[in-house]
Structure 1
Amino acid sequence: MTVEKIIEKVNRFLVDEFEVAPELISPEANLQETLELDSLDYIDMVVVLESNFGFKVKPEDFVGINSFQDFYDYVCDRVTAKELV
């Protein structure tokens, strides 16, 4: 899966699941503030990630993810690692 396809898929589920306006999503925007995430929302995000991309997410994986770009990089790295196995 290409980086562009991954970002497109991530943005689509963020808009659908977290009801955020697509124009608010940009690589430099703060993920938590833009999506207004609380601890339960992070659990929802883990479930959505696992079901959409087929890899397991650990809570500590979210440490250091601040921007949408950080999130895209994380998902791309995990998808690439999964494809290599």
Structure 2
Amino acid sequence: MTNVTKQDVFNQVTDALVELFEIDQTEIIPEAKLYEELDLDSIDAVDLVVHLQNVTGKKIKPDEFKAVRTVQDVVDSVYELLKAE
């Protein structure tokens, strides 16, 4: 996944949230809070990390994901991971 954009990552994260948790796509906006607004819990967050690892082929460290609160935080984390080749 070279030359990936943040929009590409956002689309992947959106697809994952819809597919894994049946969240309405219209609710998935960059500033949506994962826990409060999208009703994810810590187990869901782990599932999301595993899914994104499979999609990107990159290992996501749990520490990097602890600070994630919004959809944009997820996008930024995955984007930085992909850039750090």
Smaller-chain TM-score bracket = 0.7 to 0.9
Alpha-carbon separation, structure 2, partners of 1:3 and 1:61? 17
Confirm whether residue 47 of structure 1 aligns to residue 57 of structure 2: no
Greater RCO (CA < 8 Å, at least 6 residues apart):
2
Among 77, 80, 84, the residue aligned to 1:77:
80
Confirm whether residue 35 of structure 1 aligns to residue 38 of structure 2: yes
Residue 24 of structure 2 aligns with which residue? 21
Name stretches of at least 5 consecutive residues in structure 2 with no aligned partner: none
Across the aligned residues of Structure 1 and Structure 2, the Cα RMSD in angstroms comes to 1.3
Q: CA deviation at 1:39?
A: 2.4
Alpha-carbon separation, structure 2, partners of 1:29 and 1:12? 15
- TM-score w.r.t. the length of structure 1 is 0.84
* Contact residue 50 and residue 56 of structure 1 kept, 8 A: yes
Q: Deviations over 1:22-59 (max 9, x none)?
A: 11111111012233222221221121011011111122
* Contact residue 18 and residue 35 of structure 1 kept, 8 A: no
Larger relative helix fraction: 1
**Superposition misfits of 4+ residues, deviation over 2 angstroms:** none
Name stretches of at least 5 consecutive residues in structure 1 with no aligned partner: none
